[in-house]
Amino acid sequence: MHTFSTLPVEIVYRIMDHQNELTLFCSMQKVCRRLNQILSTYERYRTLTTLNLSYNRIGNKRAQHIADSLGTHTTLTTLNLGHNEIGDEGAQYIADALRTNTTLTTLNLGHNEIGDEGAQYIADALRTNTTLTTLNLNYNGIGNKGAQHIADSLGTHTVISISFHGSYNRIYDKGAKHIADALRANTTLTTLNLGHNGIGAKEAEHIAGALRTNTTLSALDLYDNGIGDKGAQHIADALLTNTTLTTLNLGSNRIGAEGAQHIADALLTNTTLTTLDLSCNRIGDEGAQYIADALRTNTTVTTLNLDRNGISAEGAQLIADALRRNASVNMV
């Protein structure tokens, strides 16, 4: 009778051929020394760089197995653990693995209910981890405290993309201020997603203040936050001096014609923004006029989204007339 300790390597390979990635990555580790040796030479395992384990109901216990595997695997660069109910305990296991793992660059922990405590575990790990560059924390019940933990870690970590998107996250005023303070000192972050986070005009002012001095952020997503005309003014004022932001999403933010005017005025002098999303607002024909006037002189915006803004055929004609003079803009 054969066991993994005595089976020919070719037979073990055949068994591995029929295993899914979750089993291969986690459950076949540490069964016995010989299986570990065979696994390390198995082509699928040895060359695995991307692992998508989303929607697997992994929970915190199996998250521990995944974390253990991260400690020994040397080729995985992208790991998707979204929608797995790992909670703060599972986040702690993953965080512990991040302290020693030196290959993972992209980690998706979205929709896992890790909360502020889980965010703290991840933030603590980021202080020593030097390879992770993209982190997704969408819809995790992260509030002001969690945002502060992550923001504090940005002062020492080289992460370049982070996402807090989601109504289940609520960073509000204090959390936004912590992130803004981090942006003033951070020199590596290039992409920040704060969509659907309950950010209003006051929070937008914090972010705008950071944009005046930050020299690395190139993409900012504030979609569905209700910053209003006043918040749009704060962001527009920052665009007058910011020279690195190229992509800005202000969609679904209760911005009216007044806010559109502030953004349009900024476009008259800003020479770096190339993509602007103002969809799902209420700028109307008056706002469309302001944007159209700006497009006649702005030569850097190439992608503009004004969908669902209460713009009539007359307002659309204003935009169309401006585009005839500025053929570089692509309306989406």
pLDDT for the residue 117: 98
Other beta carbons within 10 angstroms of residue 317's beta carbon come to 14
CA of residue 51 relative to chain centroid, distance: 18
Cα 241–Cα 243–Cα 244 angle in degrees, nearest 5: 135
Looking up tokens 């009216």 gives 256
Q: How far apart are CA 73 and CA 82, in angstroms?
A: 20
Torsion angle of the four alpha carbons 110, 167, 213, 269, in this order, in degrees rounded to the nearest 10: 120
Looking at the chain, the whole-number percentage of residues with pLDDT higher than 90 is 75
Per-residue exposure over 259-269, b if at least 16 CB sit within 10 Å of its own CB, e if not: bbbbbbbbbee
Under DSSP, the state recorded for 222 is -
Provide φ and ψ at 272, rounded to 5°: -120, -30
Backbone φ, ψ for residue 326 (5° rounding): -130, 85
Over residues 111-161, the pLDDT tens digits come to 999 999 999 999 999 999 989 999 999 999 999 999 999 999 987 777 889
Q: What is the pLDDT of residue 170?
A: 82
pLDDT in tens, 68-123: 999 888 899 999 999 999 999 999 999 999 999 999 999 999 999 999 999 999 99
Taking residues 218-236, report their average pLDDT.
Answer: 97
> Which phi and psi (to 5°) does residue 254 adopt?
60, 35
Domain boundaries, the chain: 1-48, 53-331
Describe the strand order of the beta sheet including 50-52 as a list of residue ranges: 50-52, 78-80, 106-108, 134-136, 161-163, 191-193, 219-221, 247-249, 275-277, 303-305, 330-331
Q: How does residue 64 score in pLDDT terms, banded at 50, 70 and 90?
A: very high
Q: Which residue has the tokens 């997503």?
A: 221
Supply 190's token pair: 């290039």
Q: Is pLDDT at 1 greater than 60 in this prediction?
A: no
For residue 326, name the pLDDT band (cuts at 50, 70, 90).
confident
Record the tokens describing residue 103, joined without a space.
């290959």
Residue 258 has a pLDDT of 98
Q: Which residues of 153-173 are buried (b: 16+ CB within 10 A; e: fewer)?
A: bbeebebbbbbbbbebbbbbe
Contact 302, 328 (CB under 8 A): yes
Residue 292 confidence class, pLDDT cut points 50, 70, 90: very high
pLDDT at 41: 85
- Residue 7: pLDDT band (50, 70, 90) is confident
Q: Considering only the C-alpha atoms of the chain, give the largest distance between any 2 of them, rounded to a whole number of Å.
A: 83
Q: What is the pTM of this model?
A: 0.91
The CATH number of the structural domain formed by 53-331 is: 3.80.10.10
